[in-house]
Structure 1
Amino acid sequence: MASKTTKKKQKTLRQLWYTVFPRKKSWSGEAYYDYNLLACVILLTCFGLVMLYSTSAYTAKVKYGSDMAFFGKQAVISVGCIFGMMAISKADYHWIASWGTLLYGVSNILLFATKYVGEDVNGATRWIKLGPVQFQTAEIAKLAIILFIPSVIVKMGRNIKGWKSPLLLLFFGAVTAVLTWKFTNNLSSAMIIAGMTVVLIIVAHPWGTRIAIIGGIASVPAVSIIRSVAVQLAQSSDSFRWGRIQAWLNPESESSGKGYQIMQGLYALGSGGLFGKGLGNSAQKLGAVPEAQNDMIFTIVCEELGVFGAAVLTMLFVFLLYRLFFIAQNAPDLLGALIVTGIFAQVALQVILNIAVVLNVIPATGITLPFISYGGTSIVFLMAEMGIALSVADKIRLKDEYTL
């Protein structure tokens, strides 16, 4: 009884104190950090480095005289990028987003310039070289869209309703996508940029759910129509891309030509079985699958680690996307939510399209597998995006309390 009386007196004194000295609201979890996302990114990076060495050691030895040629470069960049990601995660994402407009303009200029001053690598002019630094301009464009489109949506506010604002956003995305396609001959990145823009519009627009449902229903007959049109065009055209479509439709008949990479990749997939041949024991990586360390690395994962290894890697990507979804859902404001949604869309589209190409569900497009495929520019900008996502997560407050 005495204890209850004492507690009531203490409560009355606290109320009196707060009346004289108003309470300052603070948030618990000031040190909140999404260690789950960080751990997943590091795990994917380590998995990618192991598979990169296994996949590229033979090719690197033949071409450069050292089996560490690809692995060493990627490892150094990856380690540096992990520290860079953690540094970016402590920056304010509002300040980072404020550079979105400038980055959007610069990325479009770089895309335009690539055709005229770019470096030719394996028959494709998609890189610009500045001294010892060589980078793929499409990767800068993806980050620009992630920062620029959400910033524009936030500035539009309630004006996002209707059709005029979405059309303007589509125009911004289309400009970058067309420049990526026409001036860097990179259709796969153009598709991802367009897809990211559409996803951001659907998420931000009040009618987004209805648009997504209608689009999903319409996509079912659209696939069969597109396939029929592709067959007719492939039969009547000799262009490079229609050749790829023809190889996709009939890979066996093109096994010694444009369908060679697809068939070799399918052989690797089929020979892996449930648990694979064992790490390092792939036969297809010994020259059968061209540039296996790039966009076809998933085939070697399946051959060496089997269905089990492919499933583990897929679950890692699912968990990564889940963490990004969690951050977007709990972001402190619309800007943070849309930025992380853009990152989510990019990673999801790249993973889905890369695996779809490997399984010959869609024609070959040259899309890399995030964190796994070889590529310095790709890992730099992916890590930067993960750092921005962690920066948004750092501002999440799950519970509030009052202190003096």
Structure 2
Amino acid sequence: MKRLEKRANLDYVLLIVLVMLIGAGLVLLYSTSAYNGQNKFQDAYYYVKKQGAATVLGVIGMLIIAKIDYHKWIPFANLGYLVSIILSVLVMLVGEEYNGSKRWLSLGPLSFQPSEFSKVAIILFLACLISGQKKCVDNWHSMLRLMLPVLPVTALVGASNLSTAIIILGIAVVLIFVASPKYIQFIWMGILGIGFMAIFLALESYRLERLAIWRNPEQYEKGYQTLQGLYAIGSGGLFGRGIGQSVQKLGFLPEAQNDMIFSIICEELGLFGAGMIIILFLILIWRFFIIAINAKDLLGALIVTGAMAHMMIQVILNIAVVTNSIPNTGITLPFISYGGTSVLFLLLEMGLVLSVSNLVR
């Protein structure tokens, strides 16, 4: 009877939206990547097969985690945090470089991005840390005590992947913000964060160059990808050219299946199709909110809030980059952009959210 009760509480709306996003993602990935796959690997299905394999593993992991009481992960929170630091150090020492960025670790024929694991690890670690506080998070001392463990991970990840470091830092700020009854200190935290980012950008000339490219992409060779993405968005119109009919993916837009896939969605499906994808993400975020406010305890609410912050930040930043609203930072669109590690850990994260939805008040 208890098992039936848990199943009744499973958020099926969230599951349906996830299935729709995963399905749409695989179709759109095939449409976007078939040309590159055929040219580079003589297999039009190359990218979608790898993404499909990671998706199957992720779905299996998600369903298993969804059935486990999320409180059972508390003893592993500190271990996950330590592993994320170790993996980030290993990336710096023996990581593989691709397109000028060292972000991958290889295990034989397999490779993965440890930064994706770090996102999930930080969510669980901070949720356990905050929920275990005996005192309320209402002063600078308690806030700094919570932020300090996040900074080493952020710095190590940011050394090779600034965009993921921003997401991790954003998740941490949102979780602490939700747990704090006072808001004035977050203004000062924002000012300090802007100062930190300014120093971080100034340390490497290529980061400052990205700002210049963002302002005037037509004046720089590296602005080519941004311009081609904007051409794709502009040529899609209201209803697009039709699925599979993109011109920009035919070698004009580099690595179209990765960070810039939203521009191909706009070209093939138009404003209407792109809007439908955004609506699916909005429904997903809405379900996170509903689960969080009905969670059995603070730990559950914080886990879901962390996942919600992760999804919101990543979707907003990806679309902002594609539309050149912010400088190019190399952020994937969840469940849609090519990236086996990304989709695998996102689905495991969704398993945690579903686990919380199983135990509501």
Distance 1:103 1:165 in 2: 22
| Equivalent in the alignment of 2:213 | 247
Q: Does the residue aligned with 1:258 lie in a helix, a strand or coil? A: helix
Q: Over aligned residue pairs, what C-alpha RMSD do you find?
A: 2.4
| Equivalent in the alignment of 1:266 | 230
Deviations 1:208-251 (A, max 9, x none): 4x556x579x88xx99x99xx89xx99xx992222211110111
| Equivalent in the alignment of 2:47 | 70
Distance 2:168 2:100 in 1: 23
Q: How does 1:273-284 map to 2 (within 5 A)?
A: 273-284=237-248
Deviations 1:6-65 (A, max 9, x none): xxxxxxxxxxxxxxxxxxxx9994432101111111110111000100000000000000
Q: Does the residue aligned with 1:134 lie in a helix, a strand or coil? A: strand
Q: Does the residue aligned with 1:201 lie in a helix, a strand or coil? A: helix
Q: Does structure 1 retain, via aligned residues, the 8 Å contact 2:226–2:322?
A: yes
**2:146 aligned with 1:146:** no
| Equivalent in the alignment of 2:141 | 164
| Equivalent in the alignment of 2:84 | 107
| Equivalent in the alignment of 1:20 | none
Deviation at 1:252, TM superposition (A): 1.9
Gaps of 5+ in 1: 1-25, 398-404
For 1:242, give the aligned amino acid: L
Larger gyration radius, structure 1 or structure 2: 1
Q: What fraction of aligned residue pairs are identical, expressed as a percent?
A: 50
Q: Does structure 2 retain, via aligned residues, the 8 Å contact 1:202–1:211?
A: no
**2:354 aligned with 1:390:** yes
For 1:189, give the aligned amino acid: T
Distance 2:44 2:169 in 1: 38
**2:60 aligned with 1:83:** yes
Alignment CA distance shift 1:369-1:282 (3 Å): same
Gaps of 5+ in 2: none
For 1:202, give the aligned amino acid: F
**2:165 aligned with 1:190:** yes
| Equivalent in the alignment of 2:70 | 93
Q: Does the residue aligned with 2:222 lie in a helix, a strand or coil? A: coil
Pick from 274, 297, 310 the counterpart of residue 261 of structure 2.
Answer: 297
Pick from 288, 291, 297 the counterpart of residue 252 of structure 2.
Answer: 288
Q: TM-score, normalised by structure 1?
A: 0.84
Alignment CA distance shift 1:77-1:28 (3 Å): closer
Q: Does the residue aligned with 2:241 lie in a helix, a strand or coil? A: coil
Q: How does 1:232-381 map to 2 (within 5 A)?
A: 239-254=205-220, 257-381=221-345
Q: Does structure 2 retain, via aligned residues, the 8 Å contact 1:243–1:258?
A: no
**2:179 aligned with 1:204:** yes
Deviations 1:158-188 (A, max 9, x none): 2523221110111111111111112xx1000
Distance 1:252 1:382 in 2: 35
Q: Does structure 1 retain, via aligned residues, the 8 Å contact 2:54–2:341?
A: no
Q: Does structure 1 retain, via aligned residues, the 8 Å contact 2:266–2:273?
A: yes
For 1:172, give the aligned amino acid: P
For 1:388, give the aligned amino acid: L
Q: Does structure 1 retain, via aligned residues, the 8 Å contact 2:126–2:146?
A: yes
Deviations 1:92-132 (A, max 9, x none): 10112321110101111110111111112222210111123
Q: How does 1:40-51 map to 2 (within 5 A)?
A: 40-51=17-28
Q: Does structure 2 retain, via aligned residues, the 8 Å contact 1:324–1:344?
A: yes
Bigger drift between 308-317 and 155-164 goes to 155-164
Distance 2:256 2:32 in 1: 7
Deviations 1:320-370 (A, max 9, x none): 000011111110000000011111001100000000001101100000000
Q: Does the residue aligned with 1:324 lie in a helix, a strand or coil? A: helix
Alignment CA distance shift 1:355-1:215 (3 Å): farther
For 1:55, give the aligned amino acid: T
The number of residues matched between the two structures is 357
Deviation at 1:76, TM superposition (A): 2.0
Distance 1:386 1:279 in 2: 28
Distance 1:372 1:206 in 2: 36
